[in-house]
Each structure stands twice: as structure tokens, then as C-alpha cells.
Structure 1
Amino acid sequence: MKLPVLVAAVTLVVSGAAHAQFQKPEDAVKYRQGAFTVLGAHFSRIGAMVQGRVPFDAKVAQDNAAIVATLSKLPWAGFTPDTEKIKSRTKPEAWMEMDKVRAGADKMMKAVADLEAATRTGNLDAVKKTFGEAAATCKACHDAYRE
């Protein structure tokens, strides 16, 4: 089974469970943290190519971008109101500005979709440009809402 097909299958199963009510608020926090961790791992693999730390491989970049695009949709289900008091790296401001957090999430998902499209071209310069734009959306949210 090809990796993107496997990721899509897992995503359908996991996202369906995520949209259902979490058993405990701690489960929602673990869910969003796990999604962000895996997303970051795959995003970093593209970053290593963009920064020249590893050779650019268009296929590897495309595979990782597809995973990032899929995973970028998942963590938001874990930001439930009952998780506000659970210890995590989310700043209290996030809960007071959830509309801004959601707007940032939308902006990040768009930037990641653009990155995925750029990886399909096989053009490293296009990947560098869109990677930088996607990274900036991540940084903006981290700076504002992550301890």
C-alpha cells in the first residue's frame, strides 16, 4: 500500500474518532499533541531539504508534504473547551482568542496545501518559497499561543 493511501485511511479512522466526543479532556490534549508531533516530524523532513542539510528528493518531499497536508486538519478537534485547564503548552490567551487560533489554523492549512502543490512540481525553489510561507504560519501561532 502506498504511503499517501495508508495515511488517508488512517486519517479517516482517526479523524472520525476525534470528531466524536473524547472520553476525557486529557484524551483531547493527547490527540492534538500527537497530531502536532507527527506533523512536525514530516514538516522537518522537508525543511532539511529546503535548508540543504539533506539532498533534495522531490518524491520524498511530495510524500512528506501529503502527510503534512492531511495531518494539518487534525489537531483542531483536540482544542475542546474542557481542555483549557489541562496542563499543556497552550497559553491561556488561546482560549480567549479561539477565533484567531482558528483563523491561524485555516491560514496554515492553506499554506500547507500550497506547499504540497509546490512539491508536485519537483522545483526546489518553489518548495523553498512555499515552505517558508507555511513555516511562518506555524511560527505565528507558536509565538502567540504556545509556551
Structure 2
Amino acid sequence: MKSLGTLAFAAAALAAAGSVAAQSFQKPEDAIRYRQGAFRVMAAHFGALGAMANNRAPFDAQAAARHGDVLAVVSHLPANGFVAGSDKGETRAKPEIWSEQAKFRAANDKMTAEVAKLAAAAKTGNLDNIKATFGAAAGTCKACHDDFRKD
């Protein structure tokens, strides 16, 4: 039953990703909340996979696949929330996101590609495959945080 809920959420998130990219937020604060929410969801699922990959939690192949499915979808969402005017307010986003947009987009594209590899590895049901891809995906998160997120 959990997997049906996860898949329904992932499908809804994917549909929302397409519609959000095509529309603007009413207020910059809405964009900030949107991207922060997407990052929180990503962190929860990434953390669960990381705990398995680093032997801090028992490996559960079905749970790993579900976490990977959610990550594959949700990884595409935060970029939609970095709209003009959302650099002010309660955000840890650095100004470089807007002044170095090509670099930011490239970092985002690299992250979504590595997360897709991690999600594919999670679907194999093999912990070694997850371990082999987890570090690269985590590295893209760290690189983006280093360059584009305030401490």
C-alpha cells in the first residue's frame, strides 16, 4: 500500500513540475517555500538511501526502490522555484544562482543525472549497486551547496 501512495505522489509531483515550470509564482515567498519543500522531500529520501548505503540502516530493497523513485521525480522540482525576485527573504540561496545561471543550471543537470543513476541502481535491489552510485549523487549535492547555498 505504501508503494501505491509513493507512486501516486511521484506522478503528482511530475505533473506539478511541468505546470510550475510554465507558470509563475504569485509571490517570491511562494517560490522559496516551494523549492525548500522539494529540498526537504529530497533530503528525507536521500537520507534513507544513504543510511542503507552506509550500513547505518538495514537494507530493504523495496524501500530503496521507492526512495529512488521519489528522488528521480522530486530532483527536477527545486530548479523551478529559483525565479526572479526569490533571492530575497528567508532563503539560503546565494546571489550566484542568479548571476551565474549557466553554472547553476549545469550543476542542477548534473545532480538530476546522478540521482537518476542512483534511482536506477535502487531498482536493481542490489545494495552494492546503490553504494556504487550514492557517492556521485551525494557529491553533486555537496558541490551545489558549496557554490550556491549560504551556510
Q: TM-score scaled by structure 2?
A: 0.91
Q: Distance in 1 between matches of 2:109 and 2:143?
A: 13
**Cross-structure match for 2:107:** 104
Classify 1:146/1:70 alpha carbon distance in 2 versus 1 (closer, same or farther; 3 Å).
Answer: same
Map 1:8-19 onto structure 2 (within 5 A).
Answer: 8-19=10-21
Could you report, residue by residue, the CA deviation over 1:60-116 in whole angstroms, capped at 9, with x for unpaired residues?
111001101100000111000121233310112222111111101100111011011
Tell me if structure 2 keeps the 8 A contact 1:90–1:145: yes
Show structure 1 runs of 4+ deviating over 6 A: none
Tell me if structure 2 keeps the 8 A contact 1:119–1:127: yes
Q: TM-score scaled by structure 1?
A: 0.93
Tell me if structure 2 keeps the 8 A contact 1:115–1:134: yes
Give the number of aligned pairs: 147
Aligned-CA RMSD value:
1.5
Q: Name the stretch that deviates more: 104-113 or 11-20.
A: 11-20
Q: What secondary structure sits across from 1:61 in the alignment?
A: helix
Tell me if structure 2 keeps the 8 A contact 1:90–1:146: yes
Q: Distance in 1 between matches of 2:74 and 2:12?
A: 10
**Cross-structure match for 1:68:** 71
Identity %: 50
Residue 124 (1) aligns with residue 136 (2)? no
- Corresponding letter in the other structure for 1:32: R
Q: Distance in 1 between matches of 2:105 and 2:143?
A: 13
Map 1:1-147 onto structure 2 (within 5 A).
Answer: 2-19=4-21, 20-147=23-150
Tell me if structure 1 keeps the 8 A contact 2:87–2:94: no
